[in-house]
Amino acid sequence: MKKIFVLAIAIALVLSLAACSGGGGSDAPATEDATTTEETAADGAADTAADTAGEAIKVGIVNLPPEESGYRQANVEDMNDVFSSANGYDMKQTNTADNSEQIAAAEGYIRDGVDYLLISAANATGWDGVLTSAKEAGVKVFLFDRTIETDESNYQAALVSDMYAEGTTAVEWLLNQGLDEYNVILIRGQVGSAAELGRSEAVTKAEDAGDLKIVADGTGGDSWSSDEARKVVEAAITGGTKFNVIYAENDGMAQGAVAALDAAGISHGKDGDVVIMGFDFNRFALREVQAGNWNYDGQCNPRQASQIAEWIQAMESGGDAPTGTQYLDEVGLDTATITEDDITNKGINEDPGQIS
Amino acid sequence: MLERRQVLIPLVVLAMLIVVNMVKGLDYFSVDIVNGALYGNIPNILFGASELVIISIGMTLVTSASGGQDISVGMSATIASAAFIQVLANIGNQSVLGVFVSFLACCAVGALLGLFNGTLVAVFRIQPMVATLILFTAGRSIAFLIDGKVSPNLRNPITAQLGGVIPGVPIQTPIILTALVICIVALVFKFTNLKLYTQSVGINEKAAKLNGIDPVKIKILAFVILGICCAIAGFISVCKNGRHDSVNLLKLIEMDAILAVAIGGNALSGGKFNMAGAIIGAFTIEILNRTLLRYGVSPDAIKAVKAIFIIFLMAASSPVVVNQFNKLKERVSRKFIQAPERTCGPNMEGQ
| Mean pLDDT of the B64-90 span | 96
Q: Is residue A16 scored above 60 in pLDDT? A: no
Torsion region of A88: left, alpha or beta (phi above 0 gives left; psi -120 to 50 gives alpha): left
Cβ-Cβ contacts under 8 Å, A226 against chain B: 241, 243, 245, 248
Q: Is the dihedral of CA A161, A165, A171, A176 positive or negative?
A: negative
Q: Based on the domain organization, do A200 and A261 belong to the same domain?
A: yes
**CA–CA distance from A324 to each of A107, B181, B295 (Å)?**
22, 58, 44
Residue A152 maps to which CATH number?
3.40.50.2300
What was the ipTM of the complex prediction?
Answer: 0.89
Q: How far apart are CA B186 and CA B179, in angstroms?
A: 10
Q: Where is pLDDT greater, at B312 or A215?
A: A215
Nearest to A252 among B172, B245, B252 (CB): B245
Instruction: Give domain B2-303's CATH number out of 1.10.150, 3.30.70, 2.50.20, 1.10.3470.
Output: 1.10.3470
Is residue A3 domain-resident? no
Cβ-Cβ contacts under 8 Å, B37 against chain A: 263
Mutate to test the interface with A, among B151, B161, B216, B238 (most CBs of A within 10 A): B151
Q: Is residue B318 very low, low, confident or very high in pLDDT (cuts 50, 70, 90)? A: confident
Establish, for the pair of chains A and B, how many residue pairs have beta carbons separated by less than 8 Å. Answer: 132
Q: Is residue B314 very low, low, confident or very high in pLDDT (cuts 50, 70, 90)? A: confident
Q: What is the 3-state secondary structure (H, E, C) of A82-143?
A: HCCHHHCEEEEEEECCCHHHHHHHHHHHHHCCCCEEEECCCCCCCCHHHHHHHHHCCCEEEE
Q: Based on the domain organization, do A106 and A51 belong to the same domain?
A: yes
Q: How far apart are CA A133 and CA A138, in angstroms?
A: 9
Q: Where is pLDDT greater, at A353 or B79?
A: B79
pLDDT score recorded for residue A6: 58
Closest CA to B233 of B98, B114, B121: B114
Nearest to A284 among B37, B164, B243 (CB): B243
Q: What does the mean pLDDT of chain A come to? A: 87
Angle between helix B173-191 and B215-241 (nearest 10): 170
C-alpha angle A229-A231-A235 in degrees, rounded to nearest 5: 125
| Mean pLDDT of the B269-273 span | 92
pLDDT score recorded for residue B231: 98
Lowest mean pLDDT among A29-43, A249-263, B12-26: A29-43
Closest CA to B2 of B274, B275, B282: B274
Query: CA of B298: which chain A residue's CA is closest?
Result: A217
State how far residue B209 is from chain A, nearest Cα, in angstroms: 17
Q: Is residue B321 very low, low, confident or very high in pLDDT (cuts 50, 70, 90)? A: confident
For B194-217, what is each residue's pLDDT tens digit?
Answer: 999 999 999 999 999 999 999 999
CB B247 to CB A259 under 8 A?
no
State how far residue A73 is from chain B, nearest Cα, in angstroms: 7
Q: Which residues of B161-190 are buried (b: 16+ CB within 10 A; e: fewer)?
A: bbbbbbeeeeebbbbebbeebbeebeeeee
Q: Based on the domain organization, do A203 and A338 belong to the same domain?
A: yes
Is residue A261 domain-resident? yes
Beta carbons of B233 and B77 less than 8 angstroms apart: yes
Q: Is residue A46 scored above 60 in pLDDT? A: no
Lowest mean pLDDT among A154-168, A295-309, B292-306: B292-306
Tell me chain B's radius of gyration from C-alpha atoms: 22
Q: Is residue B344 very low, low, confident or very high in pLDDT (cuts 50, 70, 90)? A: very low
Q: How far apart are CA A333 and CA A226, in angstroms?
A: 21
For B213-258, what is each residue's pLDDT tens digit?
Answer: 999 999 999 999 999 999 999 999 999 999 999 999 999 999 999 9
Cβ-Cβ contacts under 8 Å, A9 against chain B: 119, 123
Q: Based on the domain organization, do A142 and A174 belong to the same domain?
A: no
Beta carbons of B55 and B253 less than 8 angstroms apart: yes
Is residue A7 domain-resident? no
Domain with A73, as residue range(s), is 28-161+302-322
For A81-109, what is each residue's pLDDT tens digit?
Answer: 999 999 999 999 999 999 999 999 999 99
The percent of residues in chain A predicted with pLDDT above 90, rounded, is 76
Q: How far apart are CA A146 and CA A155, in angstroms?
A: 13
pLDDT score recorded for residue B320: 81
Q: What is the 3-state secondary structure (H, E, C) of A52-79?
A: CCCCCEEEEEEECCHHHCHHHHHHHHHH
Q: Is residue B342 scored above 60 in pLDDT? A: no
CB B299 to CB A265 under 8 A?
no
Q: How far apart are CA B150 and CA B319, in angstroms?
A: 49
Q: How far apart are CA B3 and CA A354, in angstroms?
A: 55
Amino acid in position B167: P
Give the list of residues 6+ apart from residue B99 with CB closer than 8 angstroms, or none: B88, B156, B158, B159, B162
Q: Following CA atoms B249, B251, B256, B257 in sequence, which dihedral angle do they give, to the nearest 10 degrees?
A: 50
| Mean pLDDT of the B297-325 span | 83
Q: Based on the domain organization, do A214 and A281 belong to the same domain?
A: yes
Give the list of residues 6+ apart from residue A59 with CB closer than 8 angstroms, or none: A83, A89, A90, A91, A92, A114, A115, A116, A117, A118, A312
Is residue A19 domain-resident? no
Cβ-Cβ contacts under 8 Å, A264 against chain B: 34, 39
Torsion region of B202: left, alpha or beta (phi above 0 gives left; psi -120 to 50 gives alpha): alpha
The helix (run of H) or strand (run of E) holding residue B39 is strand B37-40
Lowest mean pLDDT among B27-36, B164-173, B212-221: B27-36
CB A70 to CB B150 under 8 A?
yes
Angle between helix B215-241 and B41-66 (nearest 10): 160
| Mean pLDDT of the A291-319 span | 95
Q: Based on the domain organization, do A283 and A225 belong to the same domain?
A: yes
Nearest to B248 among A67, A252, A259 (CB): A252
Q: Is residue A192 very low, low, confident or very high in pLDDT (cuts 50, 70, 90)? A: confident
Instruction: For the beta carbon of residue B317, count every other beta carbon within 10 angstroms.
Output: 20
Nearest to B44 among A238, A255, A353 (CB): A238
Nearest to A224 among B155, B248, B296 (CB): B248
Cβ-Cβ contacts under 8 Å, A294 against chain B: none
Q: Where is pLDDT greater, at A30 or B291?
A: B291
Query: E-assigned strands of A134-212?
Result: 140-144, 157-160, 183-188
Q: Is residue B11 very low, low, confident or very high in pLDDT (cuts 50, 70, 90)? A: confident
Cβ-Cβ contacts under 8 Å, B247 against chain A: 67-69, 224
Q: Is residue A267 scored above 70 in pLDDT? A: yes
Cβ-Cβ contacts under 8 Å, B134 against chain A: 17, 20
* For chain B, domain boundaries: 2-303, 318-351
Q: How far apart are CA A82 and CA B14, in angstroms?
A: 57
Sheet of strand A296-298: strand arrangement: A213-219, A183-188, A245-248, A275-279, A296-298, A332-334
Cβ-Cβ contacts under 8 Å, B40 against chain A: 238
Give the list of residues 6+ apart from residue A310 with CB closer than 8 angstroms, or none: none
Mutate to test the interface with B, among A6, A238, A280, A354 (most CBs of B within 10 A): A238
CB B241 to CB A226 under 8 A?
yes
Nearest to A23 among B141, B153, B243 (CB): B141
Is residue A216 domain-resident? yes
Total domains present in chain A: 2
Q: In the 8-state DSSP scheme, what is residue A191? A: T
Q: Is residue A21 very low, low, confident or very high in pLDDT (cuts 50, 70, 90)? A: very low
CB A263 to CB B35 under 8 A?
yes
Name the percent of chain A in helix, strand, coil, to the closest 5: 50, 20, 35
Q: How far apart are CA A56 and CA A87, in angstroms?
A: 9
Beta carbons of B270 and B180 less than 8 angstroms apart: no
| Mean pLDDT of the A291-296 span | 97
pLDDT score recorded for residue B245: 92
Q: Is residue A118 scored above 90 in pLDDT? A: yes
Q: Based on the domain organization, do A260 and A318 belong to the same domain?
A: no
Query: CA of A13: which chain B residue's CA is closest?
Result: B116
Q: Is residue B140 scored above 80 in pLDDT? A: yes
Q: Is residue A26 very low, low, confident or very high in pLDDT (cuts 50, 70, 90)? A: very low
pLDDT score recorded for residue A39: 37
Strand partners, A219: A188
Is residue A317 domain-resident? yes
Amino acid in position B59: M
No. of helices (H) and no. of strands (E), chain A: 13, 12
Name the percent of chain B in helix, strand, coil, to the closest 5: 75, 5, 25
Instruction: For the beta carbon of residue A56, count every other beta carbon within 10 angstroms.
Output: 18
Q: How far apart are CA A249 and CA A228, in angstroms?
A: 12
C-alpha angle B163-B164-B170 in degrees, rounded to nearest 5: 135
* Secondary structure (DSSP) of B44-90: HHHHHHHHHHHHHHHHHHHHHHHSS--TTHHHHHHHHHHHHHHHHHH
Give the list of residues 6+ apart from residue B343 with CB closer than 8 angstroms, or none: none
Q: Is residue A51 scored above 90 in pLDDT? A: no
Is residue A229 domain-resident? yes
Q: Is residue A325 scored above 50 in pLDDT? A: yes
Amino acid in position A296: Y
pLDDT score recorded for residue A19: 47
Surface-to-core class of residue A192, CB atoms within 10 Å of its CB (0-12 exposed, 13-18 middle, 19+ buried): exposed
Cβ-Cβ contacts under 8 Å, B149 against chain A: 66-67, 73
Q: Where are the alpha helices (DSSP H) in B92-147?
A: 96-122, 128-131, 133-146
Secondary structure class of A352 (helix, strand, coil): coil
Is residue A247 domain-resident? yes
State how far residue B350 is from chain A, nearest Cα, in angstroms: 49
